[in-house]
Structure 1
Amino acid sequence: MTLVKSVVKRKRVSAKRQYHHLKFIAKVNKQRKKEGKDPLPGLRTPKPEKLAEKPKARFPCSYVRQQEKRKLRLRKTKCFSQHVRKIRSNIQPGTILILLAGPHKGKRVVFLKALKSGLLLVTGGLRHVCNYRPGPFKYNGVPLRRVDQCYVIATSTRINISEFEVPKHIDDEYFRRVDLKEHKTEAEKLFSTEIKNLNVDNILDVRLIKNFLLFQKYTVSDTRKEDQKIVDKQIRASIKSHPDSKILHAYLRSLFSLGKRDYPHKMIF
């Protein structure tokens, strides 16, 4: 005899019916909970929840997590102004640099020395300017300036400035910004007190205020003009002594720029 298993058909419930059934049971259980009765099971009987056992107190495996390591300060922390400044090896006195930022970007300048703050002291190198023009005029349109080395490309061309002497008083304090309020003459002080009492609606009074603002502009001191002349004179002599002085003149006059297919990472400066 062959035994035949009885086929039991599985009862299938649609998702919609299942959803409404569970919703109804949840509503009933809410009421039963208020009455203090046990909740009804849904389509699937939930497993009884296990109570979480409290972990046994044991000795810690390491002390690192409890006590953090403290670094002992053997030396005093230095101020930012006292940090040691490191300059790139390809930037040497007399190196021609290309400026990449600021009002003189694209121009070629001569590196003179590194200041205590880590900034580079540079000056322009060539174009002669007429004597009737005021100000600390230089040759390449760039006066004595401080530049950060991250805004500079150092070229392979150098000028011999071994005999060149930069004035000792040209340091970071030399380039400090002058406060115009402190350096006022008696005439300027009187003029400023009169302007406070003027009426802004009057056209004549507005013109006086504009003239006063122009009167307050920064003017270059005589010491800076003299220092610029001394530096320019020595640089001109060192450029003339160079074997390729004519090519160097044209090189310093030209501005640095990139074309369509110029890749700076492939260039040799």
Structure 2
Amino acid sequence: MTRARLLRGAVGAAGFLIAGELFIRFGLSEGLIFPAPSVVLYEAARLVADGDFLDGVVTTLANWAVGLLIAVAVAVPVGVLLGALPPVERAIRPLLEFLRPIPSVAIIPLAILLIPVDEMMKVSVIVYASVWPILINTLYGMQDVDPLAKESLRSFGFGSLSVLGRVSLPSAAPFVMTGIRIATGIALILAVSAELLAGGASGIGIYVIQASSGNRTDLILAATFWAGIFGVLANLGMLTAERRLFHWHRMRTGASES
């Protein structure tokens, strides 16, 4: 069950924190300048009341949301189009396979040079990174559609658009949702990475840079902790939506809830 998984995860995280606390507090890490987990958690709690950090969170999450929404708006229609037109997909596939493995972080310096507007540059990098899992999963979903179901609908006189809307899209929807869930985490990583590499006025990455300039390792880890929390919450939210919307798909494929 999902609750059991959450409980196991919480126990594992607590065990890791306790082990780290003991490792640092009892001098096993002599010579290592590193704050204890209790110090990091204390500073993370204090950040909730830090106006500068909260402004940075709003900026980062806004870029993350805008970039992810644009990626969905671009990747889903393109994936559906390529899945519905196999000759076009075969012609474009070499280009996709060339661009897809390029590390998204590696294009940030290029984006800085090409896009002078700071927020636009960061959103563009997020879009580039997020497009690929959504596009590829949408394409796979379209290719996984039962051909017999499509032929059955055509035999009753339905046209291509009707087959697409009644069979292909509903069948591919769970794959699309999985791609969006994967892209959600990638988009957050790129949102923070772009701030770390490109700088700016506000953001979680900017707060980390400022903390590092003052050698505040505790604040660096506290801000990183919150970035991780946002990623976990986003993933859990997408998983919950995926289970509720596409429970029928999990039953059909025999996927386990545990």
Provide TM-score, normalisation by structure 2.
Answer: 0.24
Query: Which protein has the bigger strand share?
Result: 1
Structure-1-length-normalised TM-score:
0.23
Q: Which has the higher contact order (CA 8 A, sep 6+)?
A: 2
